[in-house]
Structure 1
């Protein structure tokens, strides 16, 4: 097929297929420079993050090396010097001539014998029934979470929690009246018949004392007034000494330093697995299987596209020429012609006032009217068979360029 208007050729005559002719003037084109990140550029980008990390490391190392050595706090422990410990109270009792024995098991407490004051600070790892078997005076402190059925029969805990603050005794108990106000609260209790309630709070008393078969039982809602932090406030020290310094040795029961592994507090002989609901193992198994499936699913997916800087800058003209040479080397004249025609139609249809999905007959008729060209020649150029040789492809490109310029000029 031949077209009526000549067109410029796509390739320079005499040029070799595998070589790009140099531009006029002997210049080899714009100089290219590597854009890959260098060590210096990476350091500039990361230096602030590195310096900040080093600063955090130095602060952490300094705090470990020069900071005070503090162990794990043990609340109400007579050997603990932290704010929540009670070593100050234990030393005051010893200075008053009272023997203070620290024990961490019911057996050790029972081995001390009767006729002593048993100070119970927690029953989480002990059996209440075994503790109730120990004869003598009994002081139960911090009773908000303790079971009082065995340790203090008849004393019932009021459901509402009580705010800890300084309170007046408002009772006839000599130990409380002599001490005066104390920082107490946490929980309140009802006082059974024959008991004395002190430091009222809400519908109950935060300290209840009554005689039992082997001595005196005292229940206190909070043990804050016995700690190293609060001992010097109000009459806290006086109240603690009046309750514990009765001329009898004190057996100070604290939780064990190393509780049994795999057992819950107060459930001796039963492992944590025995106390689990039946559905927990299946739920854990299903969760593990889900994690494995998600890891397998996500592991097979490709990660995000990594954006990298181009090592060199390639001119658009070189890309077009290289693509044309590939078409020529493979003799893909039909594919090249389809690309030329599709691009020309996409650019011409909006100029002709047609939609992107216009029929071929509409496009050919509109171009023939606007350019004055033969409709058959226009239709053959846009929708005809592919060129038979390279000359026909060059002529097709020139005619399509002629049509576009013609439409643009009108």
Structure 2
């Protein structure tokens, strides 16, 4: 007889190469999908056709003669800010204030979306953040020509406060989510620039007037890897492109499906031939010896009575769960014995020893014979 043999390296490789190849193909496909989609699915991206993107606005601006230059680093944006180019920063809070101040000094006009305290202080010292307002339809409430031409727009987000030459619109109490001071425009939220809301109210008119005042527009979307980003302000999940999370989700689903496909499953029961054949009589004798050795006369008597009742009930036309009184009456009527004698025989107390157990077995055999041959 041979013992169990551990699988060798060749056997292990043959077992795992198919799953490894499948996982490799899935990872490669997910990576390719991320590379193809990662740069076109961000918020306010002029190449994105999703609801949060700005492809529709970029198309309208280009038709009006505005040249849009999309950049993802502050260094590239600084190289393009020559002449009277406008600069749009979609997430100014990610940049270091000094780097944002340097870009604002080079731009002929700078538009910040959703800027908070430090970013506002870096480019527009005369303005400050007054709070947050919900996004909804708002009336201009100011004398700014762009706001008056656009009328009601869908706007919200950061609300700004200022004095002197500052122009505040779409708010109340000398504050609002649209603020302008000299060459700086602060837009509290991205709603008017998105594909989803561009055709609502006067969003398109306001967006085109704010971004189309120069022949060139440098559209700056800060992305991971830009040296100008603030250190430690954003987690890797916030900075990662949406395509990465989408790809990781696909990989997780594929791994679960692969595990379900390759997991060990229980098949049908397999019968195996026994090495020896044991006769039924030997099994009975062995069980009897165990009962005798343990002194379990009562247990043996209960087994004898249960077997006798299992054979008597069908012969008497009774159900397998018939009550003892019904069984006693039927057996007594068929055998001619008294009810008390039958009750003591079938449901009486256990015998006190082997001699009584033998007499009980003989009596049960006699009663069974009388009932079956009556």
Q: TM-score, normalised by structure 2?
A: 0.55
- Residue 164 of structure 1: aligned partner: 136
How many Å separate the matches in 1 of 2:207 and 2:68?
Answer: 14
- Residue 150 of structure 2: aligned partner: 179
Matched, 1:260 2:231: no
- 1:1-400 matches, within 5 Å, as 72-113=40-81, 115-123=84-92, 125-134=94-103, 135=105, 136=107, 137-143=109-115, 147-165=119-137, 167-200=138-171, 204-211=175-182, 216-247=183-214, 249-256=216-223, 259-260=224-225, 266-267=230-231, 325-328=282-285, 332=289, 334-335=291-292, 337-343=297-303, 371=341, 382-385=351-354, 393=358, 395-399=359-363
How many Å separate the matches in 2 of 1:307 and 1:73?
Answer: 47
* CA displacement 1:23-69 (0-9 Å, x = unmatched): xxxxxxxxxxxxxxxxxxxxxxxxxxxxxxxxxxxxxxxxxxxxxx9
How many Å separate the matches in 2 of 1:271 and 1:228?
Answer: 27
* CA displacement 1:238-278 (0-9 Å, x = unmatched): 2222222334532211133xx239x9963279997xxxxxx
Q: 1:383 to 1:203 in 2, by over 3 A?
A: farther
How many Å separate the matches in 1 of 2:64 and 2:129?
Answer: 33
| SS of corresponding position for 1:157 | strand
Contact 1:144 1:222 in 2 (8 A): no
The offset of 1:75, in angstroms, is 2.1
The offset of 1:343, in angstroms, is 4.7
Contact 2:153 2:203 in 1 (8 A): yes
How many Å separate the matches in 2 of 1:264 and 1:385?
Answer: 99
How many Å separate the matches in 2 of 1:143 and 1:225?
Answer: 15
Q: CA RMSD in A?
A: 4.9
How many Å separate the matches in 2 of 1:309 and 1:398?
Answer: 42
How many Å separate the matches in 2 of 1:386 and 1:202?
Answer: 110
Gaps of 5+ in 1: 1-68, 273-305, 312-321, 353-369, 373-377, 406-410
| SS of corresponding position for 1:328 | helix
The offset of 1:344, in angstroms, is 7.1
Q: Which has the higher contact order (CA 8 A, sep 6+)?
A: 1
How many Å separate the matches in 2 of 1:270 and 1:157?
Answer: 21
Q: TM-score, normalised by structure 1?
A: 0.51
How many Å separate the matches in 1 of 2:354 and 2:217?
Answer: 111
Contact 2:192 2:198 in 1 (8 A): yes
Contact 1:188 1:207 in 2 (8 A): yes
The offset of 1:236, in angstroms, is 2.0
How many Å separate the matches in 2 of 1:78 and 1:177?
Answer: 26
The offset of 1:111, in angstroms, is 1.6
The offset of 1:103, in angstroms, is 1.3
Determine which structure has more spread, i.e. the larger CA radius of gyration. Answer: 1
How many Å separate the matches in 2 of 1:271 and 1:183?
Answer: 30
* CA displacement 1:177-207 (0-9 Å, x = unmatched): 2222222123322224431111116883010
Q: 1:183 to 1:338 in 2, by over 3 A?
A: same
The offset of 1:113, in angstroms, is 3.6
Contact 2:156 2:188 in 1 (8 A): yes
Q: 1:152 to 1:383 in 2, by over 3 A?
A: farther
Q: 1:99 to 1:326 in 2, by over 3 A?
A: closer
Q: 1:404 to 1:159 in 2, by over 3 A?
A: farther
